[in-house]
Homo-oligomer: A and B are copies of this chain.
Amino acid sequence: MNKLNKQSDFQTPKVTTGPLPSSLKRYVQSERFEDVKSPVRDIILHPSSGEAPLPVYDPSGPYTEDNFTPDVEKGLPAVRAPWIARREQEGYEGRDVKPEDNGGATGDYLARAFPNVPQPKRYTGKIRTQLEAARAGIITEEMEYIAIRENLGRKQAAEGAAMRQADGESFGASVPEFVTPEFVRDEVASGRAVIPININHPEAEPMIIGRNFLVKINANIGNSAVTSSVEEEVDKMVWATRWGADTVMDLSTGKNIHNTREWILRNSPVPIGTVPIYQALEKVNGIAEDLTWEVYRDTLIEQCEQGVDYFTVHAGVRLPYIHLTADRVTGIVSRGGSIMAKWCLAHHKESFLYTHFAEICQIMRDYDVTFSLGDGLRPGSIADANDRAQFAELETLGELTKIAWDHGVQVMIEGPGHVPMHKIKENMDKQLRECGEAPFYTLGPLTTDIAPGYDHITSGIGAAMIGWFGTAMLCYVTPKEHLGLPDRDDVKVGVVTYKLAAHAADLAKGHPAAKLRDDALSRARFEFRWEDQFNLSLDPETARDFHDQTLPKEAHKTAHFCSMCGPKFCSMKITQDVRDYAGGLSDNEKADLEAMSEKERQRGMEKMSEKYAAVGGKLYVAPERVEEEKVTGPDHQ
């Protein structure tokens, strides 16, 4: 289905609304700001559990409220409008929309424009970005909002939290027991975290990206020259946030880029990122060498005025690095990277993104757009991981980070790509070192190239690991990666896969509240509260469907057995019996059992030792000697 849709049959985009199963969205009132209320989703458990609702992080916006009817033609309520109004800023007559903004689409092929485009604004004061505010010691409404939501509904550090926090390996990250607005501010001031939020995207709910916070995930959507429509992309955006996407990137590349983006932005509760060079390329009819700084600059302003929250800028793809990719197995696979490489070589000039970087900073500062410094030379295969081209670019990104910071602009850094497991940590460590701990935002990485169709999994492995090591946001990969554009189902699988990877990373880092959800779900599982198990899961619909495929009857959801063992024998049921029994043991009896255990072990070990001695200790290695043997033993190579 080659869907270069005529747009005359344009329908108002339809989006999915309503709460997730057994969930209630609640807004936590700030004590500091009257008009700051942070969302949390409470998962209501069965009364038999005796447990309070479990609060979880919720990026899905008003769409998952109980009685919210979206007006997609007007867009979401501008939650941040009053905050922005209190700041030094101005509304102004923005740039006119030009035909090339939509790739020259006309007539039937021009997507309907969003009917209620707001007037653009820009900051005008001395402090224009969250970074500048933080440095000045100011706690913004956004910081307050974030502090509340990062605590996952907790009002204070839980008792015993210190213990839980200790149960993790954070590799230098310092996730606090309890997030305060002051902590948010300090992390933003240091550059270790970013709050991507354009003055012209007041509909977005503030969120933070930094390694001392919950690990975030991004979902990519966007039309291309060969497929998709505005309606589908708006639907995908809402759908992605429903399942947990913290930001969405609109990577549209075909016609109608401007109009598609406006519909997305006005209806998006999460920050939207783009790669402006994609649109700039469309404006010069897809011919990379025809790109100019002026076209790019115009595109930046266009997107700043629309409200894009962060820009991928491939300013690290420098002329002197391009030849370093010549011997690679997969050359330059980043679209933005290859555009700039082509331009540099065609003109034999340094990249205009690099030479004009300070001007880019100045433009972005006025709207508080955050940099996502692109890794245009990232490896596209296992063979190319961690090579000189990749790392040379990363060093330049570190250099550019400091220039952006110098201009008061927030920065995060994009990372690979395709990296085998043993080379992942090197990426993280080098990024922290080169980029002054600016947040890392990685695509996967994919840990093998041999499983197209399963690259959400090859990359989910790498994502969980690099998230553990310190990556602040993980860009999802869907099952269609390398093969096609993700449809709605792929978006969901990608988001859920990355949510579980991010959560696994939070757990391993020792996030003080992450384990609460695992424990709640495991208790539900152990107690055969099937409905609670479904509702506590990242994807209740799929969990329920899978259960019902084997045991469809309603009665089976309250039955104390499952399809694996059936009703007669059930390991969990037996364990409950065991628990009752063991609960009756006195401390003395327990001590006796342990003594018995130890005595028998000693006896057994002595017997074994004699036998080893008898055979000259050659056939097998006593456990205490394993370490020693590894160093001194025979080499089997």
How far, in whole Å, are A627 and B435 apart by their CA atoms in the complex? 12
* Residue numbers in B under 8 Å from A572 (CB-CB): 330-331, 333, 338
Contact with B along A412-453 (1 / 0, CB 8 A): 000000101110000000001111110000000001111111
Q: Give 9 CB contacts A-B under 8 Å.
A: A135-B619, A326-B582, A338-B571, A381-B519, A382-B515, A403-B604, A436-B621, A437-B621, A454-B497
Q: Are A563 and B224 in contact (CB under 8 A)?
A: yes
Contact partner of A341 (CB less than 8 A), chosen from B321, B453, B552, B574, is: B574
How far, in whole Å, are A452 and B433 apart by their CA atoms in the complex? 37
Query: Known interface pairs A433-B623, A435-B623, A562-B484. Does A448 touch B637 (Cβ–Cβ under 8 Å)?
Result: no
Min CB–CB distance A597 → chain B (angstroms)? 4
A593 at the interface (CB under 8 A from B): yes
Q: Are B458 and A504 in contact (CB under 8 A)?
A: yes
- Of chain B, the residue at the smallest CB distance from A546 is B483
Contact with B along A523-566 (1 / 0, CB 8 A): 10110000001101111001101110111100000000011111
Question: Which of A561-593 touch B at CB < 8 Å?
Answer: 562-569, 571-572, 574-579, 581-583, 585, 590, 593
Contact with B along A273-307 (1 / 0, CB 8 A): 00000000100001010000000000000000000
Q: Are B635 and A458 in contact (CB under 8 A)?
A: no
How far, in whole Å, are A321 and B582 apart by their CA atoms in the complex? 10
Contact partner of A383 (CB less than 8 A), chosen from B168, B322, B457, B519, is: B519
How far, in whole Å, are A436 and B395 apart by their CA atoms in the complex? 45
- Of chain B, the residue at the smallest CB distance from A408 is B619
Q: Are A578 and B525 in contact (CB under 8 A)?
A: no
Question: Which of A175-198 touch B at CB < 8 Å?
Answer: 176-177, 183, 186-187, 189-191
A214 at the interface (CB under 8 A from B): no
* Residue numbers in B under 8 Å from A562 (CB-CB): 482-484
Query: Known interface pairs A323-B590, A405-B619, A563-B485. Does A518 touch B433 (Cβ–Cβ under 8 Å)?
Result: no
* Residue numbers in B under 8 Å from A398 (CB-CB): 623
Q: Are A525 and B433 in contact (CB under 8 A)?
A: no
Q: Are B461 and A501 in contact (CB under 8 A)?
A: yes
A126 at the interface (CB under 8 A from B): no
Across chains A and B, which 3 residue pairs bring their CB atoms closest together, nearest first? A225-B566, A484-B550, A331-B575
Q: Are A575 and B382 in contact (CB under 8 A)?
A: no
Q: Are B578 and A341 in contact (CB under 8 A)?
A: yes
A71 at the interface (CB under 8 A from B): no
How far, in whole Å, are A31 and B129 apart by their CA atoms in the complex? 73
- Of chain B, the residue at the smallest CB distance from A601 is B399
Query: Known interface pairs A436-B626, A564-B224. Does A547 touch B484 (Cβ–Cβ under 8 Å)?
Result: yes
Q: Are A497 and B457 in contact (CB under 8 A)?
A: yes
- Of chain B, the residue at the smallest CB distance from A157 is B637
A325 at the interface (CB under 8 A from B): yes
Q: Are B483 and A522 in contact (CB under 8 A)?
A: no
Other than the known A226-B566, A326-B578, A341-B578, what 19 A-B pairs have Cβ atoms closer than 8 Å? A174-B636, A190-B620, A212-B636, A322-B582, A338-B571, A338-B575, A380-B522, A382-B522, A395-B601, A433-B626, A436-B620, A437-B626, A449-B521, A450-B538, A451-B496, A451-B538, A452-B546, A454-B539, A483-B546
Query: Known interface pairs A515-B383, A574-B339. Does A468 touch B421 (Cβ–Cβ under 8 Å)?
Result: yes
Q: Are A335 and B436 in contact (CB under 8 A)?
A: no
Min CB–CB distance A405 → chain B (angstroms)? 5
Contact with B along A64-100 (1 / 0, CB 8 A): 0000000000000000000000000000000000000
Question: Which of A314-349 touch B at CB < 8 Å?
Answer: 318-323, 325-326, 329-335, 337-339, 341-342, 345
A596 at the interface (CB under 8 A from B): yes
- Of chain B, the residue at the smallest CB distance from A507 is B420
Q: Are A546 and B457 in contact (CB under 8 A)?
A: no
Most buried by B among A505, A593, A620: A620
How far, in whole Å, are A483 and B1 apart by their CA atoms in the complex? 36
How far, in whole Å, are A331 and B593 apart by their CA atoms in the complex? 19
* Residue numbers in B under 8 Å from A620 (CB-CB): 190-191, 402, 405, 436
Size of chain A's interface in residues, with CB distance under 8 A?
170
Q: Are A383 and B518 in contact (CB under 8 A)?
A: yes
A59 at the interface (CB under 8 A from B): no
Min CB–CB distance A332 → chain B (angstroms)? 4
Min CB–CB distance A410 → chain B (angstroms)? 12
- Of chain B, the residue at the smallest CB distance from A424 is B508
Most buried by B among A381, A454, A500, A626: A454
A113 at the interface (CB under 8 A from B): no
- Of chain B, the residue at the smallest CB distance from A537 is B452
Q: Are B332 and A575 in contact (CB under 8 A)?
A: yes
Min CB–CB distance A371 → chain B (angstroms)? 14
Contact partner of A465 (CB less than 8 A), chosen from B174, B177, B421, B537, is: B421
* Residue numbers in B under 8 Å from A521 (CB-CB): 449-450, 452
Q: Are A382 and B335 in contact (CB under 8 A)?
A: no
Query: Known interface pairs A383-B515, A565-B253, A585-B323. Does A577 touch B342 (Cβ–Cβ under 8 Å)?
Result: yes
Min CB–CB distance A139 → chain B (angstroms)? 15
* Residue numbers in B under 8 Å from A504 (CB-CB): 420-421, 447-448, 458, 461
Contact partner of A500 (CB less than 8 A), chosen from B342, B458, B505, B526, is: B458
Contact partner of A608 (CB less than 8 A), chosen from B382, B399, B454, B508, is: B399
* Residue numbers in B under 8 Å from A500 (CB-CB): 448, 450-451, 454, 457-458
Q: Are B484 and A571 in contact (CB under 8 A)?
A: no
How far, in whole Å, are A562 and B581 apart by their CA atoms in the complex? 63
* Residue numbers in B under 8 Å from A405 (CB-CB): 619-620
* Residue numbers in B under 8 Å from A519 (CB-CB): 329, 381-383, 449
A30 at the interface (CB under 8 A from B): no
Query: Known interface pairs A485-B564, A565-B224, A635-B174. Does A332 touch B538 (Cβ–Cβ under 8 Å)?
Result: no
